[in-house]
């Protein structure tokens, strides 16, 4: 009996005194290692856990795990390891299942539309894309603008080049580098406490169409290798905000440094009964990062999340020169309640 065919990789002997071909043994072992790595990541996805480095980083590109998963299946097939082939097919099936969009595809109408406006969120990468952002704001005329990584140059340019007559209400956190953030609004704003974070996450209550709307910028730390604890903590605070803001109109927008394949991001949606605007417009897998280099490994970490008080009419990703993120422009209608 061929021991690889019964699932054992350690014994290379077969009956009749014939020894397994070395190439097949190496192929089966290599395939098993590849499938083990993919299985570890997909297993965390199935278990609702983001794990620790390198799992959070790999989860960001979960659909691309179909590539090593397919390679692993091919290797165990070349090695004629039947149990490994079943394993490989199962890994591909589970991975493929999780490439489906997460969350509701529609929202329920809640009365007549009181106000229609657009929301723009953009990570300007230390302010390097400020010129492109300002051009986009002038062109698209969004009602609300959320800006992440708005350094000193960025905040100064917003003050100088976007007149108060267009955006009379602002919450700008002047910090250097990636720590600065800004919210610009055509609607009256009432200040509220910020979410504690290393990169500023300001928020406010906006009066839109006669309703009070809680708006919040999201920009938790990324899950850097070896330092994903801080990412867990800050994204957890965003989740707590979503939970506390449940029950009224909410817009939560920014660079979440997380995708729908991260358990923490899914919990933000679930805790606050929020909806991902890209998901509602059929763009759940449209990429937003990285935009500054040619690579097939891209993912969506920039989001505009809204409560069921809104109708999402459109969502469009915009390319701005100077940043590694695409901006996201979303058209919204606020129901009367």
Range in 100-114, 269-283, 296-310, 313-327 with the lowest mean pLDDT: 100-114
* Domain membership of residue 22 as a residue range: 3-98
pLDDT-based confidence at residue 20 (cuts at 50, 70, 90)? low
What share of the chain in percent tops pLDDT 90? 87
Q: Is the pLDDT reported for residue 15 higher than 80?
A: no
93-150 pLDDT tens trace = 999 999 999 988 777 777 899 999 999 999 999 999 999 999 999 999 999 999 999 9
Q: Is the pLDDT reported for residue 3 higher than 70?
A: no
Q: Is the pLDDT reported for residue 257 higher than 70?
A: yes
185-197 pLDDT tens trace = 999 999 999 999 9
Residues 6 or more apart whose Cβ sits within 8 Å of residue 53:
223, 225, 226, 228
Is residue 108 in a domain? no
Average pLDDT over residues 186-211: 97
Residue 337 pLDDT: 72
CA 37 from centroid of its chain's CA atoms: 22
Handedness of CA 198, 302, 183, 324 (dihedral sign): positive
CA distance 218 to 254: 5
Average pLDDT over residues 228-233: 95
Residues 57 and 118 in one domain: no
Residues 38 and 169 in one domain: no
Residue 1 pLDDT: 37
Handedness of CA 230, 63, 95, 97 (dihedral sign): positive
Report the CATH number at residue 256.
3.60.10.10
Q: Is the pLDDT reported for residue 4 higher than 50?
A: no
CA distance 245 to 306: 11
Residue 10 pLDDT: 52
Residue 108 pLDDT: 75
Residues 158 and 199 in one domain: yes
pLDDT-based confidence at residue 6 (cuts at 50, 70, 90)? very low
Residues 275 and 201 in one domain: yes
Residue 109 pLDDT: 73
Residues 146 and 83 in one domain: no
CA distance 88 to 32: 9
Q: Is the pLDDT reported for residue 164 higher than 90?
A: yes
CA distance 72 to 89: 10
Q: 3-state class of 252 per DSSP?
A: strand
Q: Give the max Cα distance, the chain.
A: 89
pLDDT-based confidence at residue 19 (cuts at 50, 70, 90)? low
- Strand pairing partners for 215? 204, 251
Q: Is the pLDDT reported for residue 169 higher than 70?
A: yes
Average pLDDT over residues 175-204: 97
Tokens of 239: 């989740």
Question: DSSP letters along 321-335, please?
Answer: TT-SS-EEEEEEEEE
Residue 64 pLDDT: 97
Residues 87 and 166 in one domain: no
Residues 43 and 124 in one domain: no
308: left (phi over 0), alpha (psi -120 to 50) or beta: alpha
The residue from 72, 98, 124 where one domain ends is 98
CA distance 106 to 214: 21
User: How many domains in the chain?
Assistant: 2
Q: Is the pLDDT reported for residue 5 higher than 60?
A: no
Q: Is the pLDDT reported for residue 226 higher than 50?
A: yes
CA distance 201 to 173: 9
50-100 pLDDT tens trace = 999 999 999 999 999 999 999 999 999 999 999 999 999 999 999 999 999
Q: In whole numbers, what is the pLDDT of the chain averaged over residues? A: 93
CA distance 320 to 326: 6
Average pLDDT over residues 275-291: 96
Residues 126 and 88 in one domain: no
Work out the burial of residue 20: count CB atoms within 10 Å of its CB; fewer than 13 is exposed, 13-18 middle, 19 or more buried: middle
The residue from 45, 63, 98 where one domain ends is 98
CA distance 36 to 9: 14
Q: Are 173 and 182 in contact (CB under 8 A)?
A: yes
Q: Is the pLDDT reported for residue 208 higher than 80?
A: yes
CA distances from 169 to 162, 166, 296, 334 (A): 12, 9, 39, 19
Residues 173 and 82 in one domain: no
Residues 125 and 48 in one domain: no
Tokens of 33: 């290692």
């Amino acid at each position: 009996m061929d021991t690889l065919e019964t699932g054992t990789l350690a014994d290379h002997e077969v009956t009749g005194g014939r020894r397994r071909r070395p190439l097949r043994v190496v192929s089966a072992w290599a395939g098993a290692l590849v499938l083990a790595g993919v299985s570890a990541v997909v297993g965390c996805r199935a278990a609702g856990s983001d794990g620790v480095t390198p799992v959070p980083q790999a989860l960001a590109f979960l659909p691309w795990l179909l590539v090593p998963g397919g390679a692993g299946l091919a290797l165990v097939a070349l090695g004629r390891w039947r149990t490994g082939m079943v394993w490989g097919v199962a890994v591909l099936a589970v991975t493929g299942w999780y490439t489906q969009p997460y969350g509701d595809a529609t929202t329920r109408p809640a009365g007549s539309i009181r106000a229609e406006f657009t929301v723009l969120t953009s990570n300007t990468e230390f302010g390097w894309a400020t010129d492109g952002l300002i051009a986009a704001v002038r062109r698209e005329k969004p009602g609300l603008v959320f800006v992440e990584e708005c350094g000193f140059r960025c905040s100064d340019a917003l003050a100088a080049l976007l007149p108060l007559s267009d955006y009379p209400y602002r919450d700008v956190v002047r910090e250097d580098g990636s720590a600065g953030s800004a919210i610009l609004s055509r609607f009256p704003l009432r200040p509220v406490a910020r979410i504690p974070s290393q990169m500023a996450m300001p928020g406010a209550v906006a009066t839109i169409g006669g309703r009070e709307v809680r708006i919040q910028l999201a920009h938790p730390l990324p899950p850097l290798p070896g330092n994903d604890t801080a990412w867990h903590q800050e994204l957890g605070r965003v989740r707590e905000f979503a939970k506390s803001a449940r029950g009224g109109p909410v817009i939560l927008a920014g660079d979440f440094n997380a995708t729908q394949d991260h358990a923490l991001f899914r919990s933000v949606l679930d805790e606050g009964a929020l909806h991902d605007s890209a998901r509602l417009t059929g763009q759940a897998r449209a990429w937003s990062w990285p935009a500054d280099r040619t690579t097939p490994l891209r993912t969506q970490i920039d989001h505009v999340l809204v409560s069921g008080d809104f109708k999402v009419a459109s969502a469009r990703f915009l390319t701005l020169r100077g940043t590694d993120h695409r901006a996201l422009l979303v058209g919204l209608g606020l129901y009367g309640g």
